[in-house]
Amino acid sequence: MGKQLIIGSNGQVGTELLSALRAKYGKENIIASDLKEPKSPIEGPFHILDAMDKTAIHAIVKENDVDTIYLMAAMLSATAEKMPDKAWGLNMTSLFITLDLAKEGLIKKLFWPSTIAVFGPNSEHVMTPQHGILEPTTVYGISKLAGEQWCAYYQRRYGVDVRTLRYPGLIGYKSAPGGGTTDYAVDIFTKAVHEGQFTCFLSAERTLPMMYMDDAIAATLQLMDAPKEQLKTYVPYNLASLSFSPEQLAKEIKVLIPNFQISYEPDFRDEIAASWPESIDDSAARADWNWSPKTNLSSMVALMLEGNKSLSKV
Ligand code: AKB
């Protein structure tokens, strides 16, 4: 078995994916890489790597006998709106470099995350289907939809094994999110634990699909392990777990922190969120590779509060 490379291993998902893959396959077999050194030192191989540097990616793949890449580097929805050209450049260039590596037979498998941001205001908002209307209004959503189409093209035309999940908003305490519209659902826990109050940049009733990080990582590993013949639905798969508004989340937090206060100052991110689904139909993932999430809203809230408290003791 060849080694596996994570591009963007310092990010919100990359950090937790790295731990999970190293626990499963051994730290020497998983190569971490990112633009900068990780904030706290990690054991095992790490390379400084720009996701748009084709030559450097090729060198790491060849020198380390890499056969699988997880391309986790991307510019997310809120940041991408502030620099659309840079977002397009990063999100697409890095994808083409890795798709071409697979096309040339230099790697065997690629994971590339997509998102609920591929949907738009004309999509069905409740239990949004896999193959519904796809008319994103953000540059992030446009880049991810184009990427999905390119993945499908490389799979059809060149037989590339590329696997893709449409992640909902992801919630974990071990790594910080950066530049997304769903980030409020992570930040709220840090503020609840340390300050007892939170000002939300989405409006109270803005419901979005969300997922606890452990479920997202489990889904990623499960999809990558699934035999190719089982993946009948083609790339990408809708993925669902929780669905709640800031108001509903705050109510759950108050069960454990009764004095917690939330206020609302919606900004441009509320408009982005309004264009996205409220809940997702992931029946294809459930049927094709047995997907099912484990964490419900109350257990996610308890885990997030405990996790944030334990971090502040370190
Ligand atoms: C974002 O908010 O941009 C991301 C996403 C939903 O893909 N978390």
Cβ–ligand 1 distance for 77 under 6 Å, the answer: yes
Please name the residues in contact with 144: beta carbons below 8 A apart, sequence gap of 6 or more.
91, 114, 115, 117, 118, 136
**Ligand 1 atom nearest 113 alpha carbon:** 7
Element (H, E) at 52: none
pLDDT class of 232 with cuts at 50, 70, 90: confident
Closest residue by Cα to atom 4, ligand 1, is 180
For 48-101, what is each residue's pLDDT tens digit? 999 999 999 999 999 999 999 999 999 999 999 999 999 999 999 999 999 999
Judged against a pLDDT cut of 90, whether residue 235 lies above it is answered with no
Q: Is this model's pTM higher than 0.95 or not?
A: yes
Please name the residues in contact with 176: beta carbons below 8 A apart, sequence gap of 6 or more.
12, 186
Cβ–ligand 1 distance for 186 under 6 Å, the answer: no
Measured between alpha carbons, how far is 298 from 305 in angstroms, rounded to an integer? Answer: 11
Please name the residues in contact with 198: beta carbons below 8 A apart, sequence gap of 6 or more.
187, 188, 191, 192, 250, 260, 261, 262, 263
Q: What is the pLDDT, as a whole number, of residue 92?
A: 98
Which value, in Å, is the radius of gyration of the alpha carbons in the chain? 19
pLDDT class of 165 with cuts at 50, 70, 90: very high
Q: What is the pLDDT, as a whole number, of residue 216?
A: 98
**Ligand 1 atom nearest 78 alpha carbon:** 3
Measured between alpha carbons, how far is 59 from 139 in angstroms, rounded to an integer? Answer: 31
What separation in Å is there between the alpha carbon of 158 and the centre of ligand 1?
30
Please name the residues in contact with 89: beta carbons below 8 A apart, sequence gap of 6 or more.
52
Segment 103-124 mean pLDDT: 98
Please name the residues in contact with 168: beta carbons below 8 A apart, sequence gap of 6 or more.
115, 116, 182, 208, 209, 210, 211, 239, 240, 241, 242, 280
- Where would I find the H helices in 104-161? 139-158
Closest residue by Cα to atom 6, ligand 1, is 169
What separation in Å is there between the alpha carbon of 314 and the centre of ligand 1?
29
For 166-221, what is each residue's pLDDT tens digit? 999 999 999 988 899 999 999 999 999 999 999 999 999 999 999 999 999 999 99
Closest residue by Cα to atom 1, ligand 1, is 180
| Residue type at position 108 | K
CATH fourth-level superfamily of 3-169+213-238: NAD(P)-binding Rossmann-like Domain (3.40.50.720)
Across 28-91, where does the E strand assignment appear? 30-34, 46-48, 66-71
**Ligand 1 atom nearest 182 alpha carbon:** 2
pLDDT class of 314 with cuts at 50, 70, 90: low
What are the residue ranges of CATH 3.90.25.10 in the chain? 170-210+242-313
pLDDT class of 271 with cuts at 50, 70, 90: very high
**Ligand 1 atom nearest 170 alpha carbon:** 8
Judged against a pLDDT cut of 90, whether residue 312 lies above it is answered with no
What separation in Å is there between the alpha carbon of 276 and the centre of ligand 1?
10
What separation in Å is there between the alpha carbon of 116 and the centre of ligand 1?
7
What are the residue ranges of CATH 3.40.50.720 in the chain? 3-169+213-238
Whole-number percent of the chain with pLDDT over 90 = 94
Catalytic residues: 140
Regarding the domain delimited by 170-210+242-313, which CATH topology (the fold level of the hierarchy) does it fall under?
UDP-galactose 4-epimerase; domain 1 (3.90.25)
Cβ–ligand 1 distance for 182 under 6 Å, the answer: yes
